[in-house]
Amino acid sequence: MTDSNTPEIHRKLDKIARLLAFLVLFEFLKLAGELLTITSVGNSFFSMLSLVIVLVLLAGISVIITS
């Protein structure tokens, strides 16, 4: 590996990292949908708490993706 190949390798690794982040985001959204469906049957406090947790985690993941 030479220094001239380093930027190209970094671009490829960045693309792979972004694709993995989108995959994690997609799986997380599926899990969040199931969590909200389960908690919507129960107490409204737990439903709101799970919604807040989902939104905070979603914001964290979106920050990681855009950085």
Say which amino acid occupies 59.
A
Q: What is the pLDDT along the chain (67 residues), one digit of tens a residue?
A: 556 778 888 888 888 888 887 787 778 777 777 776 765 566 677 767 777 877 887 787 777 777 6
Q: 11 near 26, Cβ under 8 Å? A: no
Q: 18 near 61, Cβ under 8 Å? A: no
Angstrom distance (rounded) from CA 46 to CA 7: 47
Angstrom distance (rounded) from CA 20 to CA 28: 12
